[in-house]
Amino acid sequence: DGGNGGPAWGAPDSSHHHAPAPRRRAGGLITAIIVGALVAGGVGGGIGYWAAESNDGGSTGSTTVSAGEAPKVSDRASGTVAAVAAKALPSVVTLEAKSGDGSGDTGTGFIYDKQGHILTNNHVVASAANGAAITATFSNGKQYDAEVVGRAEGYDVAVIKLKNAPSGLTPLAIGNSDQVAVGDSTIAIGAPFGLSNTVTTGIISAKNRPVASGDETGSSNSYMSALQTDASINPGNSGGPLLDSRGAVIGMNSAIQPSGGGNGQSQAGSIGLGFAIPINQASTVAKQLIKTGQPVYPVIGATVSMGDESQAGTEGGDGAQITTQGEGGTPAVTPDGPAAKAGLKAGDVITKFNDTAIDSGPTLIGEIWTHKPGDKVNITYKRDGKQSTVQLTLGERKGDS
């Protein structure tokens, strides 16, 4: 149905790439997560050596030059990037999910409440389901063990909780992603390539970008109607906050369009195309995970085509077609489900969801998942060359199937 089927989505591995970029056939998106033995210390050491060597210049002498004393650094004015970063950094953590063999995934998370809950991407901590241990390191270097509270594969959202959480935790302020406008300033915080506490800036480049991501097995799927930003986001930024100019979280950084389009992690880097889950959606999912430990998905009660031809999502696509048969021989339209009650049938092509044009199955799923079960939505579809619009009440599916 609206939350079933679809392309395989990206396990957090350097060789796995996300599904095509929104609305155009481009290189694959890749989760902004860093995998393996790379650690901040090693990267920092290498950069430090290169900088020292490049600044040497081969000089064997020195000349003393009289200069005025540099002014002392003072507190930055309120509202500047420096002030926002200084306030936010203590509430952002670098996460590492390390398996017994020493391999691990590194990403980012941020403090969600005073009880020690941390919001991050599912693909950052998914390996914990297989026994990996999670550690969270704060900007002051203090490290705490953490455990998974709940994961939502479809939304690519997870909540973990610090074990023995310290007192005085300061949750980041949660903004309103529905009020974000193209051109608004953005600040991203994360651990790109293991470099913790990295701050980058940009703007909101676009809204409602349909992003589908998957791994090679087809066992789990992730879809979002994303915020696009040109703030530099790289592997290791996954799960980190995307802030507005006031320091409020408007999104959770999740995927990037890698440079070069190659398969190697070395070719995955920021080219100014980053994608974040809108915080309104991520926060709704987080509250559900904290409450029950499992996600709830809104569904239309119909299976739509998610093949490569529709998944590419080219401009002016033909919409999302309801398949003639569901998975395992089940009906494509669930009997007495939302779509059936609205009069939709197998073979109908959905072209609009409320006011949003639908060009592919992943686009439709991403739009559905910005809503809640019970919401009433308008579905525009084509059947035998005729276009019609019906109202549909979204149903629900609990848990990841």
The residue with greater pLDDT, 19 or 113, is: 113
What is the rounded average pLDDT of the residues 51-56? 34
Distance CA 175, CA 304 (A): 33
Give the pLDDT score at 285. 96
Instruction: Reply yes or no on whether 123 is catalytic.
Output: yes
pLDDT-derived band at 79 (thresholds 50, 70, 90) equals confident
pLDDT at 356 over 50: yes
Residues 6+ apart with CB under 8 A from 381: 319, 344, 348, 349, 350, 351, 387, 388, 389, 390
For residues 271 and 142, state if they share a domain.
yes
Distances (CA, A) of 203 to 136, 199, 357: 28, 14, 24
Instruction: Reply yes or no on whether 238 is catalytic.
Output: yes
What is the rounded average pLDDT of the residues 342-346? 94
Distance CA 271, CA 278 (A): 21
Is residue 29 assigned to a domain?
Answer: yes
Give the pLDDT score at 29. 56
Is residue 59 assigned to a domain?
Answer: no
CATH number at residue 374: 2.30.42.10
For residues 252 and 353, state if they share a domain.
no
Give the pLDDT score at 32. 57
Distance CA 147, CA 133 (A): 8
Which of 1, 105, 156, 215 does the annotation list as catalytic? 156
For residues 4 and 99, state if they share a domain.
yes
Of 227, 262, 294, the one marking the end of a domain is 294
Of 254, 279, 294, the one marking the end of a domain is 294
CATH number at residue 227: 2.40.10.120
Which of 177, 213, 225, 238 does the annotation list as catalytic? 238
Is residue 98 assigned to a domain?
Answer: yes
Give the pLDDT score at 48. 34
pLDDT at 21 over 80: no
Give the pLDDT score at 92. 97
What is the rounded average pLDDT of the residues 263-285? 79
Of 247, 262, 294, the one marking the end of a domain is 294
Give 278-296 pLDDT, tens digit per residue: 999 999 999 999 999 999 9
pLDDT at 64 over 50: no
For residues 245 and 211, state if they share a domain.
yes
Give the pLDDT score at 131. 80
pLDDT at 353 over 90: yes
Give the pLDDT score at 259. 64
pLDDT-derived band at 331 (thresholds 50, 70, 90) equals confident
Give 237-264 pLDDT, tens digit per residue: 999 999 999 999 999 999 887 665 444 4
Give 361-397 pLDDT, tens digit per residue: 989 999 999 999 999 999 999 999 999 999 999 999 9
Distances (CA, A) of 43 to 46, 189, 191, 196: 5, 18, 11, 11
Share of residues in the chain with pLDDT > 90 (%): 57
Is residue 356 assigned to a domain?
Answer: yes
For residues 23 and 153, state if they share a domain.
yes
Give 80-138 pLDDT, tens digit per residue: 999 999 999 999 999 998 877 767 788 999 999 999 999 999 999 988 887 889 999 99
For residues 256 and 321, state if they share a domain.
no
Distance CA 23, CA 130 (A): 35
Give the pLDDT score at 30. 52
Which of 14, 123, 196, 283 does the annotation list as catalytic? 123
Q: What is the extent of the structural domain holding 311?
A: 296-398
Instruction: Reply yes or no on whether 371 is catalytic.
Output: no
For residues 285 and 235, state if they share a domain.
yes
pLDDT-derived band at 56 (thresholds 50, 70, 90) equals very low
Written in H, E and C, the secondary structure of 311-350 is HCCCCCCCCEEECCCCHHHCCCECCCCHHHHCCCCCCCEE
Is residue 81 assigned to a domain?
Answer: yes
- Name the average pLDDT for the chain: 79
For residues 200 and 320, state if they share a domain.
no
